[in-house]
Amino acid sequence: MELDNARIAVLAENQYQELELWYPVMRFREAGAAVTVVGPAAGQVYGSKLGYPVVPDVSVDDVDPADFDCVIVPGGFSPESLRRNAGMLDLVRKVEDDGRVVAAICHAGWVLASAGLAKGRRLTCVSVIKDDVINAGAEYVDEPVVRDGNLITSRLPNDLPDFCRVIAQAISELPERDASDHPSRDYGNSSSANYTAAAKVRTKAMGPGSANYLMFAAAEGSRSLWIQLSQSGCRGSPCPGRHASGAASMASRRAPRYAGRWMRTSRSSPTTRTGRGRRWSSKPAGTRRR
């Protein structure tokens, strides 16, 4: 298969590793492939470990695994959430069952384990989860990239050039689709790395004393991102946004701090807060000690 005929899905969730998502997206779009970012909800903002936002093109509930020639699972801490999403596991599992390419990097080995794809396979991952993939039945090897049939794995962002090179090679070995084999829908590939505000990832307990939590991204200071968030069910204006899970963002409660509620003051001020050697006044902005 020519790379510019390939259809590739890249999975997105909160706490993803920035390079491990955007490097493959840009690399394969530049080569002409149709790259679709798939998330739990379309149009929802998801934040990386450092606050880099991504807005998926489509929800995993609306995709047909048969439409994709390859699925790429980025790492970071997003696989902790991806592995608990039945739709994500079903997508990865069905692409692999069809003999198409499945690629996972870093912590994405968790997704392979939960999807039942690690057992009996030779693979690699970030070393901190090697016990998990070994206990899932995999043969772990410490190499930059490992290919076992249609399964491709890598360890860390430094391995991305080798990772993408082997993915491209595996796709080239797939048979071309029939000219009449069109995708079930137009998924689009408009997700962009451009952004105007960071997406701060928050967590919220599901209930008093609950060990279970919801993770959501709150985009601060960008009206356009708030609008995207508000489409998932937030009411009122201004809208702090909601995650697809229904967890309300706490950004609106914290807005005064980002708007300058705490101001720098002298050491002689009687009301100060200390952080990293600096002192901050708890007086409202606009007031001065005389």
Q: What is the mean pLDDT of residues 131-146?
A: 97
Query: Could you confirm whether 107 is annotated as catalytic?
Result: yes
Distance between CA 241 and CA 246 in Å, rounded? 9
Contact criterion met (CB below 8 Å) for 114 and 133? no
**pLDDT for the residue numbered 220:** 63
**pLDDT for the residue numbered 221:** 55
Q: What is the mean pLDDT of residues 138-163?
A: 98
Q: What is the mean pLDDT of residues 27-50?
A: 94
Distance between CA 182 and CA 203 in Å, rounded? 40
The proportion of the chain whose per-residue pLDDT surpasses 90, expressed as a percent, equals: 58
Q: What is the mean pLDDT of residues 7-29?
A: 97
Q: What is the mean pLDDT of residues 44-51?
A: 90
Distance between CA 260 and CA 244 in Å, rounded? 30
Q: What phi, psi does 127 have (nearest 5°)?
A: -60, -25
b (16+ CB within 10 A) / e for 148-164: bebbbbbbbbebbeebb
Helix axes 160-172, 18-30, angle to 10 degrees: 40
What sign does the CA torsion over 62, 65, 66, 72 have?
A: positive
Q: What phi, psi does 70 have (nearest 5°)?
A: -155, 145
Pairing label, strands 34-39, 7-11: parallel
DSSP state string for 4-41: GG-EEEEE--TTB-HHHHHHHHHHHHHTT-EEEEEESS
**pLDDT for the residue numbered 110:** 97
**pLDDT for the residue numbered 219:** 64
Secondary structure (3-state) at 193: coil
Contact criterion met (CB below 8 Å) for 107 and 83? no
Q: Among the listed ranges 59-73, 188-202, 214-228, 247-261, which one has the minimum average pLDDT value?
A: 247-261
Contact criterion met (CB below 8 Å) for 3 and 32? yes
First to last CA, the chain: 75
**pLDDT for the residue numbered 240:** 34
Q: Which of 107, 121, 200, 243 is catalytic?
A: 107
Inform me whether the pLDDT recorded for 224 exceeds 90: no
